[in-house]
Amino acid sequence: MESQNTNSLRYDVAEISRLSTRIRERVATVVVGMEQAVEIALASILAGGHVLFEDVPGLGKTLAARSIAASIGLDFRRVQCTPDLLPSDITGSFVYAPSSSDFVFRPGPIFTGLLLADEINRTSPKTQSALLEAMAEGQVTVEGTSYPLPVPFHVIATSNPIEYEGTYALPEAQLDRFMVRLAVGYPSRSGEQRVLLNRVERQQEVARVEPVITADELRAMQAGIERVVVDDDIALYCVDLAAATRTHGAVQVGASPRGAQGLLLVARALAVMAGRDFVTPEDVKRIAVPVLAHRLSLTPQAWASGVDASAIVTSVADEVPGPPTVGAAVSNSEQQ
């Protein structure tokens, strides 16, 4: 289906599933051993969210983020986060224009379809906070004037564990803006071999990914997912999972309502990517850790004891009962 006009594109579940499969296959030609992380990252973007890759250096986080960005055809900018990076280096600033003898606004790299914030936690919390308004409201405010960002607008960020030298902790408000946080992990023995052979075969350091879809087609895919109906019991299951984190003994601050919403939206996108127009409890449970774990603030005692937020979410997901049946059976065609 060709992209001619944004308003003329209308994708059904089957078409969204087909295109998402093509995107993942294209990314897999250069990104090895990250199939699950790439799938959840793509689902988050289709759900309108932002993605944080966090793991030790050298595992291909930046390559994965850059490859996803290239495959979905959005205008792309990259910011290398460093300790001396200023908020205005991201948002833009007013500069003096001699031709008009006036100050004019010069947009920063954030004015793009997809912003890659590489090693985001190596810059100061003040600069990290420059992204808050953009990620939540799709605009930036500079010297009292608000400027809208392109639609769609997404942030893919990479970070290193806070234990590493030269890193700053991401503020809780910043973490909450990311729909998912994904750990990459070390590849398997055969996967790491494939990484080495891929480098030899392409005879250059940079791995390039050609776009699978255009920005218009991405918007059409996102709109198609928004038309999918979600069963009331599934929504309540998402609420119960988020609420259970707030009463856990090792948690000081549990998942926010934005976390419950993230569960629902990512699970819905995953369902459509799988070719279904309904969400199952298994869809929700599968993405509980990526969506909720980074939103938890542990008690000082739990933190000192080395308790892991991901383990807490896993135990909560095992304990909270899901709906016995899914009312899923209503298709989009029956709704219309």
- For 278-306, what is each residue's pLDDT tens digit? 999 999 999 999 999 999 988 989 888 88
- When pLDDT is averaged across residues 207-221 and rounded to a whole number, the result is 89
Lowest mean pLDDT among 1-5, 170-174, 184-188, 273-277: 1-5
pLDDT at 7: 54
Q: Are residues 106 and 183 in the same domain?
A: yes
Confidence of residue 163 (pLDDT cuts 50, 70, 90): low
pLDDT at res. 124: 86
pLDDT at residue 22 greater than cutoff 60: yes
- The domain in which residue 251 lies consists of 228-335
Angle value at C-alpha 120, between 220 and 30, nearest 5 degrees: 55
Integer Cα distance of 207 and 162 in angstroms: 28
Domain containing 313 — which CATH number? 1.10.8.80
d(Cα 78, Cα 156) in Å, to the nearest integer? 10
The pLDDT assigned to 325 comes to 55
Question: Cis (ω within 30 of 0) for the bond into 281?
Answer: no
Q: Which of 161, 195, 218 is the last residue of a domain?
A: 218
Q: Find the farthest-apart pair of alpha carbons in the chain and give their distance in angstroms, rounded.
A: 69
* Domain count for the chain: 2
Domain boundary pick from 186, 218, 250: 218
CB 123 within 8 A of CB 86: no
Q: Distance of CA 99 to CAs 17, 88, 92, 95, 102, Å? A: 52, 23, 20, 12, 8
Burial class (CB in 10 A: 0-12, 13-18, 19+), 187: middle
Q: Is 153 part of a structural domain of the chain?
A: yes
Looking at the structure, do residues 169 and 41 belong to the same domain, yes or no? yes
Query: How would you label 243-277 residue by residue, b for 16+ Cβ within 10 Å and e otherwise?
Result: bbbeebebbeebbbebbbbbbbbbbbbbbbbeebb
Q: Which of 164, 187, 218 corresponds to the end of one domain?
A: 218
> How confident is the model at residue 61, as a pLDDT?
81
Task: Tell me if 247 is assigned to some domain.
Answer: yes
Residues 210 and 284 in one domain: no
Same domain for 185 and 279? no
Distance CA 64, CA 73 (A): 15
* 114 and 237 both lie in a single domain: no
Q: 120 with 62, same domain?
A: yes
Residues 36 and 158 in one domain: yes
- Asked if residue 4 has pLDDT above 60, the reply is no
Q: What is the CATH number of the domain that holds 157?
A: 3.40.50.300
Q: What are residue 141's phi and psi, to 5 degrees?
A: -120, 120
On whether both 200 and 253 belong to a single domain, the answer is: no
104 lies in the same domain as 207: yes
Q: Give the pLDDT confidence score for residue 97 in this predicted structure.
A: 82
Q: Encoding tokens for residue 89?
A: 């280096």
Looking at the fold, whether 195 and 295 belong to one and the same domain comes out as: no
Same domain, 57 and 117: yes
Q: Which of 120-129, 167-176, 259-268, 304-313 is predicted with the least confidence, judged by mean pLDDT?
A: 167-176
Has residue 223 been placed in a domain?
A: no
Q: Is residue 1 part of a domain?
A: no
Same domain, 280 and 184: no
CB 296 within 8 A of CB 254: yes
> Is residue 105 domain-resident?
yes
